[in-house]
Amino acid sequence: MELEFFIEKTALVLVLFVLTLTIAAYSTWAERKVAAWLQDRVGPNRAGPFGLLQPLADGGKMFFKEEIIPNGANKYLFIAGPSLALLVSFLGTAVIPFGQSIEIFGRVVPLQVTDINVGILYIFGIVSLGVYGIMIGGWASNNKYSLMGAIRGASQNISYEIAMGLSIIALLMVTNTLSFKEIAAQQHGWHWNVLYQPLGFLIFLICAFAETNRVPFDLPECETELIGGYQTEYSAFKMGAYMFAEYINMFVSSVVMAVLYFGGYNYPGMDAVNQALGPTWGPLIGVGVMFFKIIAFIFFFMWVRWTVPRFRYDQLMDLGWKVLIPLAIANIVITAIVIVGFDLFNKL
Amino acid sequence: MESLSGRKKVLEQKPMNFWERMYLPAIFKGMAITFSHMFKKKETIHYPEQQREFSENWRGMHSLKRDEHGRERCTACGLCALSCPAEAITMISAEREKGEEHLYREEKYAAVYEINMLRCIFCGLCEEACPKEAIYLDGPIVPSDYLRKDFIYGKDKLVEKPLKEMEAEKAISR
């Protein structure tokens, strides 16, 4: 392994790690601001200008709170729960291309930590691991509310993963590849996949809400019924880890949606911009566009959260099994017919 | 059953039609409403910097009044403490010495006058009980503090400023 390669990848991983942390921290601030704006309030504005130091204050608070491990809890699993949730949530961004390859000091650097050719499967594996953090935490707490939350989390994630996977299959029929790099490259300019797969995107979006346990599908947490669900017994930094994991999951699913359906770093007129700015600065504009899309998605997550009330448990299962899965299968069939139709049309 | 008032409304529970079962149109409608609220005027009053306008009969922090010559009106009769349902007021009386006529209006005055703001319920009964018109609840909101002992307000915080200072303040505000 060459030294440059090692440095390049290490730098990329570090930047991505810090970026993920920062975005997750400021998501908590943004969530409160967005909530306030949607409710005719101003939100946190005392810590620093516009309340920008609020995440630091909250983090400090989390560190210095008293750590409580309940007597009846399984101590090792109790600690493993939040650690696993946080760890797994970080892994997702490794296969995401954040931009076209950049030329730095005469060296072409791909803005992707690793390009594995089964990137989508990797993401799915990581996402389904995420539920273990919730399950282990809820089980180890030795509390009925926590257990209820954990069970709900597990059943909800399993139900919605099916519809999510089926909606992705239709996308794969269009793209013919599992690699994120190629999927992003295929959507050059304005050939975004959302234009070919609008229904698939809608299903994926709804499932993403369920997978990240966000309102309207926050049944594992469910403050009003389960007093915090799997988080009930957690305090101090372990509680913070769960909250952080939730926000990182939101970031990761925003990234995945941006790359799979909204063209990632692609934007109309990118060729002209790349030619004008050269191989170093041109792709950076693409990175900016990518992050604009990600932040727009994060805003969308929050916007929905502060608009829609929580689904009832039977409604959640109805929607998952009786609406989304048939819709996703129909989407596959329609996509297949259209693709075959186009092939026949081209042969004529 | 026959409605006697004629205002009875019978609500029908219809099964949801296809669009309603999709939830999405309703969700989008709701999201449009919440988004429009982003640009509305914020209702927040930035408290320490801005203050809400109070009504005429607002009861805030107490103040012990002075008369037109700048003398304290309170004679430490104890009627306010007696009337107080929360037992927030206590005082120690003292006799006016010679040469103190410009400070206290009557021969007896309150050497110590304390109100416990954590006990006070701002009912205004002390104001009504006072025969000398010495106490009024016409001040601002009682500020927050860290220690319980700091909520016991003595004469230093309660008594009105001397006449000269008040006139000077009025002149500045003009």
Contacts of A37 in chain B (CB under 8 A): 37-38
- Within-domain flag for B5: no
Low-confidence spans in chain B with pLDDT less than 70: 173-174
Range A68-75 average pLDDT: 85
Residue that is written with structure tokens 């930590």 in the block: A113
Question: Chain B contacts of A42, Cβ < 8 Å?
Answer: 42, 44, 46
Write the CATH number for B87.
3.30.70.3270
Phi and psi for B111 in degrees, rounded to 5?
-75, -40
CA–CA gap between residue B167 and residue B161 (Å, rounded): 10
Query: What tokens appear for A270 in the block?
Result: 């990118």
B10 located within any domain = no
Has residue B55 been placed in a domain? no
- CA A264 to CA A272: how far, in whole Å? 18
Number of neighbouring beta carbons within 10 Å of residue A172:
15
% of chain A surpassing 90 pLDDT: 5
**Could you report the per-residue pLDDT of A30-54, keeping only the tens digit for each?**
999 999 988 888 888 888 888 888 8
What is the pLDDT confidence band of residue A1, given thresholds at 50, 70 and 90? low
For residue B146, the model assigns a pLDDT of 92
Q: Please, which pLDDT band fits residue A296 given cuts at 50, 70 and 90?
A: very high
The answer to the question of residue B50 being in a domain is no
Does B35 contact A306 at a Cβ distance shorter than 8 Å?
no
Whether residue B41 is contained in a domain is answered as no
Nearest to A270 by CA among A257, A254, A283: A283
Which residues in A have their CB inside 8 Å of a CB on B? 37-42, 202, 303-304, 306-308, 319, 323
**Computed over its alpha carbons, how large is the radius of gyration of chain B?**
28
Question: Is the sign of the CA dihedral A151, A155, A160, A166 positive or negative?
Answer: positive
Q: Is A178 exposed, middle or buried (0-12, 13-18, 19+ CB in 10 A)?
A: middle
pLDDT, position B90: 92
A60 is in which domain, residue-wise?
A: 3-347
Q: Is the residue at B119 inside a domain?
A: yes
Would you call the peptide bond into A216 cis, given omega within 30 degrees of 0 as the criterion? Answer: yes
Cα gap A114→A141, rounded to integer Å: 37
Going by C-alpha positions, the residue among B104, B164, B112 that lies closest to residue B134 is B104
Pairwise CA distance, residues A62 & A56, whole Å: 10
Interface test with A, best of B19, B31, B46 (most A CBs within 10 A): B31
Q: What is the pLDDT of residue A226?
A: 76
pLDDT at residue A74, rounded to an integer: 84
Q: Smallest Cβ distance to B34: which of A202, A306, A319?
A: A306
Does B26 reside within a domain? no
**C-alpha to C-alpha distance for A246 and A85, rounded to whole angstroms:** 8
Tell me whether residue B123 is annotated as binding.
yes
B42 CA: distance to closest CA in chain A (Å): 5
Residue A310 has what pLDDT? 85
pLDDT band at A116 (very low <50, low <70, confident <90, very high): confident
What is the C-alpha separation between A254 and A192, in angstroms, rounded? Answer: 15
- Rounded to whole angstroms, the Cα distance separating B174 from B161 reads 18
Helix (H, G, I), strand (E, B) or coil at A30: helix
Domain count, chain B: 1
Indicate the number of domains in chain A.
1
CB contact under 8 A, A308 and B27: yes
For residue B93, the enclosing domain spans: 63-173
Q: What is the mean pLDDT of chain A?
A: 85
C-alpha to C-alpha distances, B96 to A142, B105, B162, nearest whole angstrom? 71, 9, 18
In this predicted structure, what is the pLDDT of residue B173? 66
Distance from CA of B144 to the nearest CA of A (A): 17
What is the ipTM, given to two decimal places? 0.74
B27 found inside a domain: no
Lowest mean pLDDT among A183-187, A196-200, A226-230: A226-230
What is the least distance, in Å, from the CA of A322 to any CA of chain B? 11
The reported pLDDT for the residue numbered B129 is 92
The nearest CA of chain B is from the CA of A45 a distance in Å of 10
